[in-house]
Amino acid sequence: MAQTKVLVLDEHHRVPPQLRGALEHVGAEVHVRSPGEVLTAPARLPEVTVLLASAGLAPHTVRAVARRLDDEGQQPSVVAFAEHDLHLLDQHVLAGSDYLAPPFHPDLVRARLRDCHERAEFSRTMEDVAAHAELLSYERELEIGREIQLGFLPDALPSPKDWEIHVRFRPARTVAGDFYDVFEIVNRRRLALVVADVCDKGVGAALFMALIRSLLRHTAEQSGLQSLIAAELMGEEAGWAEHSRAIPVVGATPLLNAVAGTNNYLTRNHIRQGYFATMFFAVLDPATGNLVYINGGHNPPVLLSASGADPVLLAPTGPAVGVIPDVDFALGYARIDPGDTLFIYTDGVTEARAPGGEFFGEEEMVRQLSEAAVRGEELLDHMDGALSAFVGRAEQSDDITMMAVHWNPPGARTA
């Protein structure tokens, strides 16, 4: 055993002469302190392998000193000693300490300290094994959570004729707060597009992601059927008037019901958990390119025109979902023409950080989108490359989700 470094703990700095002589005989490095001196010491304490505490001290005092040493990264064996009042050792043994009793013969003290040291090392080894097993169990639970979360994301994306929809999904951790969804509603006449970001990251955000995604999809699908029945009874088709912002009969109703219903459920049942989501939820008419949407506090998607016109940013139409009860969400309208691309993303894109801490930012993102000579999936490849070059070796700080919705112009080749 390497040199034993002993801190003798006694209120009056008293060490039994026979014990001190035995410690010196076995070559131990000895320091003597009172509990108050240890607990109020402004500087780091001497390195200690054994905390030798007088049995006259209260066990909670000894524990406080041990915690102070533990805070400094030291984990000494705690041994109580008594010269005469051996019955005082009982309280320390019950508190989990080892003990040392007279006679304090050097060979006996050496053997006792070695035995205490080996038992402490074994105990720490077992604690390390248990901690490692717990870590493996936690990692397995996270992996199960990741598999379950991936099950909430679509296996394949709908692909209406002449349309391409592609996604990049990069969680910052094993599980993510970002999510996306693309699904058909209104008897497959409309396409729902969702990109959302639950506040925070990790397991809690992932749980709320699953909840919010399920609420949105279920409500939109059910409302879509009701909207279709109402429209057919009225003899109307979806669309909006040439010079008005009249709500489309088919498409807007499931959109409003899904977002408002999800918001009301969260604010009434989960407001105390403090989770909310920013989201962009749009309903697309693939036949016309008409788009009706709600942007609930989300980063503005970018509509890129095939004509070379300036990009159009689809600003928020309401607050984040899950913050304000019974809030009214306004509708936004846009049109995707043949050759155009709608780029939807989460703040993991604009808030990506370079090694020096600089943000990628919205301005640089729009510049990259505008200068790229490609659309659809190739545009996502371009943005992946731009982000990787900007971030370099820095750790990904947030979940990244990007979706590109592209209408192929007439005669264009599709994959």
Q: What CA–CA distance (Å, rounded) separates 245 from 267?
A: 29
Rg (CA), the chain: 33
- In the chain, how many H helices and how many E strands? 10, 15
Q: pLDDT tens digits, residue range 327-374? A: 999 999 999 999 999 999 999 999 999 998 899 999 999 999 998 877
Mean pLDDT score of the chain: 84
Superfamily for 5-128?
Response regulator (3.40.50.2300)
Distances (CA, A) of 203 to 136, 139, 148, 415: 16, 12, 12, 37
Write out the CATH class of domain 155-407: alpha beta
Rounded to whole angstroms, how far apart are CA atoms 29 and 27? Answer: 7
Q: Which residue has the higher pLDDT, 126 or 73?
A: 73
Does residue 271 surpass a pLDDT of 90?
A: no
User: Among 348, 360, 361, which residue's Cα sits nearest to residue 397?
Assistant: 348
Contact 133, 371 (CB under 8 A): no
Q: Which is nearest to 252 in space by CA: 280, 232, 224?
A: 224
pLDDT band at 239 (very low <50, low <70, confident <90, very high): very low
The 10s digit of each residue's pLDDT in 69-123 is 888 888 888 999 998 888 899 999 888 888 888 888 888 888 877 776 676 666 6
Condensed to tens digits (0 to 9), the pLDDT of residues 138-188 reads 666 656 666 666 666 788 888 899 999 999 988 876 667 788 999 999 888
Tell me what the mean pLDDT of segment 378-406 comes to. Answer: 90
Q: Give me the helices (H) in 187-336, please.
A: 203-234, 252-269
For the chain, domain boundaries: 5-128, 155-407
All residues at 6 or more sequence positions from 229 whose CB lies less than 8 Å from its CB, including other chains? none
Task: Return the SS3 of 221.
Answer: helix
Task: Identify the H or E element spanning 113.
Answer: helix 106-152
pTM metric for this prediction: 0.64
How high is the pLDDT of residue 192? 95
3-state secondary structure 86-98: HHHHHHHHHCCCE
**Residue-level pLDDT at 174:** 61
Residue whose structure tokens are 């008293």: 14
pLDDT of residue 248: 47
Task: Give the pLDDT confidence score for residue 394 in this predicted structure.
Answer: 82
Helix (H) or strand (E) holding 183: strand 178-185
